[in-house]
Chains A and B, each alone.
Chain A
Amino acid sequence: MKKSSIINIVFNVLGKAFGYVCKNDKRAKDLFFALPKHLTINMGIYGESTYISLEKTENQILKVKPTKENADLEVLFKTRYAARLVLLGKISVSESFARHDILLKGDINTAVRLVRIINIIEYYLFPRIITYKFLPKMQKEISSFKVYGFTLFGNSKNCKIDNFNAKIKNVTNKNAEKHNKDTDGSDKNLEKLQNVEKVSEKV
């Protein structure tokens, strides 16, 4: 079946905006670093070939050649109509999920993070007159025009996402470890803290 050109365009715009928004919006960046370090994502419509494949590395998310191979996460709309509702900003991804319009293969928690990133991207891509129906008001950390500009002329390969927050977190954690050792004199608190960190890493 021939791909729908309008859906293909929106998927590709979304894919290209992904890296740029994750690099420049703190909320998206936090969600990006909460995703597994290496992740492949296929998106498309059930019964049709893959529309877009994304590959997430440690600090980049790249749009790669659409593949039929099994990805870690596969997000498929049941029909073209279902895809159009979301991609043209009629309803949110959450509402689409609620309508049983989305098929998902892989870890649902990872998909939820992805959905939250997509919500942020949609907030930049669509005018507020469209998003007010399904997205809460957010602070724009970059101009939407910059996002449009990047999707037209930018190169995702140059879009490296700096884990600045995680670095700060590490320093804070190290200070907390030091503080616990100093005040308690035992390693018990440190162990607890490390456990919490392990959980944080999983998250």
Chain B
Amino acid sequence: MDKYFEFNNGTKILCGKNALNNLKYELDYLGSSCPLLLSDEGLETAKIVDFVMKTAKNIKFNAVFTKIPADSSTLTINQIARLYKNNKCDGIVALGGGSVIDTAKGVKLILNQSKVDIMDLAGNEIVKKGKFIPFVVIPTTCGTGSECTSVAVIKNSKTKTKLEFISSELLPDVAILDERLTKKLPPKLVASTGFDALVHAIEAYTSLQKNPISDIYATTAIKLIGSNIIDAIGGDDNARLNMALASNLAGTAFSSAMVGIVHAIGHALGAVLNIPHGNAMMMLLPACMRFNLDKNFIEYSSLLLYFTNEDEYISAKPNERAKVLIEKIEETIGLIKQKTGIMLSLKEYGAKEKDLNVVAEKALSDGAGIVNRKDFSKEDVLNILNEIF
């Protein structure tokens, strides 16, 4: 081992049938008797919040906040932190997807660092160990993996730009993956969030920051996604639970190894053209893999085994395995498009050619791109964007 690396993940994971029933025990264990429950309106309408409250009826939530917007913002976080203090809560339970979880992380950070404004804490690993705030996360999608990452992306309400917060203090104490919570997830969302998880794992496995521990998480996640994503879209409960687990593993991998060019361009597409993150990942992945092929040839070749199976791996010629992997991913995307009708070109989202320049410039300054093994220029990004136009 000639490379220095750091790996930190202290989140306890409860995964499987009826995992949610252990929420009361976990909160007691962490010393929280009157927590704050955070969620969003979509989950409230879908009665998921009710379901959790009923399952955990012996828990006394001192406050419930379900008005978290699609993009978590500094304003919402500051507001929730005040709600937490005013209601004398002693822990946080976050129920939802990436936005709810990132908001909860922001709230935890501001409280454990005793700050009034979350903006004071933006940056990378600048935050010190703070006051202990029990923090439990219950994800309801199969993609973000945010329940086990030390990263939160929060919109600055004043400048409308997205800020990144990176700190071990953002890691939840417990993550609960229960199959009942992803039952109502529409197939399109299963597909796009599932692909987000796949990109997390592939980029973590090929980034500058990859290490032997993150590799184990990434390859296991890819194996689970390759064999479950289509069934999960079809509504199979077990496949959906496997996808939730894969998302968690991929999240752990990228929390240590970071991501790369697919996310750098994907974030820019989200900011400029409002393209949903998972859909952007699905569109970009094959084109970006072709761009990275010369630098990541060995890694892509070995990933064929995990994404497909032993037979496919052995039948492909060693010097063609990387290309076969890209083809197999494209086949899966084609199948998903057939099943869900998901939009997979920039034109379908109303993009104009002049937008591409703005996207390319924004992608260049995205933090995700910095650990992509192959350096990229604006022209490279434009070429990729033209490929998916």
Contacts and interface: CB of A to CB of B under 8 A. Distances in A.
A74 B243 CA distance: 39
Contacts of B362: 199, 203
A146 interface: no
Contacts, number: 88
B370 A115 contact: yes
B116 interface: no
B367 interface: yes
A183 to B, nearest CB: 14
Contact of B366 (A104, A109, A196, A202): A109
B358 interface: yes
A65 interface: no
A116 B205 CA distance: 24
Nearest to B355: A196
B208 A203 contact: no
Contact of A97 (B163, B364, B370, B375): B370
B361 A200 contact: yes
B369 A112 contact: yes
Contacts of B209: 98-99
A34, A136, A176, A203: most-surrounded residue (chain B CB, <10 A): A203
A159 to B, nearest CB: 23
Interface centre among A99, A107, A110, A135 (most CB of B within 10 A): A107
Contacts of A113: 364-365
A108 B367 contact: yes
A95 interface: yes
B358 A99 contact: no
Interface in A101-133: 102-113, 115-116
Contact of A105 (B123, B354, B366): B123
A203 B4 contact: no
A199 B126 contact: no
Contacts of A97: 124, 370-371
A45 to B, nearest CB: 14
A38 interface: no
Nearest to B267: A109
A102 B124 contact: yes
Contacts of B124: 97, 102-104, 108, 111
A106 B5 CA distance: 24
A94 interface: yes
Query: How big is the B interface, by class?
Result: 20 to 34
Contacts of B358: 196, 199-200, 203
A181 interface: no
B255 to A, nearest CB: 12
Interface residues of A, number: 32
B152 to A, nearest CB: 12
Q: Is the interface of A mostly helix, strand, loop or mixed?
A: helix
Contacts of B366: 109, 112
Nearest to B374: A136
B122 A106 contact: yes
A103 B125 contact: yes
A158 B25 CA distance: 67
Contacts of A192: 352
Nearest to B6: A100
A102 B355 CA distance: 33
B354 A196 contact: yes
B258 interface: yes
Given A98-B208, A112-B369, A104 B258 contact: no
Nearest to B371: A98
A112 B367 contact: yes
B150 to A, nearest CB: 11
B361 A34 contact: yes
A98 B207 contact: yes
Contacts of A199: 271-272, 358, 362
B6 A112 contact: no
Contacts of B375: 135-136
Contacts of B361: 34, 200, 203
Given A100-B6, A109-B365, A202 B371 contact: no
B372 to A, nearest CB: 9
A200 B271 CA distance: 12
Contact of A99 (B5, B160, B272): B5
Contacts of A110: 365
Contacts of B364: 112-113, 116
Contacts of B369: 112
Given A100-B6, A112-B366, A202 B161 contact: yes
Contacts of B208: 94-95, 98
A129 to B, nearest CB: 18
Contacts of B125: 100, 102-104
A34 B360 CA distance: 13
A105 B122 contact: yes
Interface of B: 4-6, 122-126, 159-161, 163-164, 166, 207-209, 258, 271-272, 352, 354-355, 358, 361-362, 364-367, 369-371, 375
6 contacts: A99-B5, A100-B6, A109-B367, A111-B124, A112-B366, A199-B272
Sorted from nearest, which 6 A-B pairs have the closest CB atoms? A98-B209, A104-B124, A98-B208, A105-B123, A108-B367, A108-B164
Given A112-B366, A196-B358, 11 more contacts: A94-B371, A97-B370, A98-B208, A98-B209, A103-B124, A108-B163, A112-B364, A112-B367, A115-B370, A202-B161, A203-B365
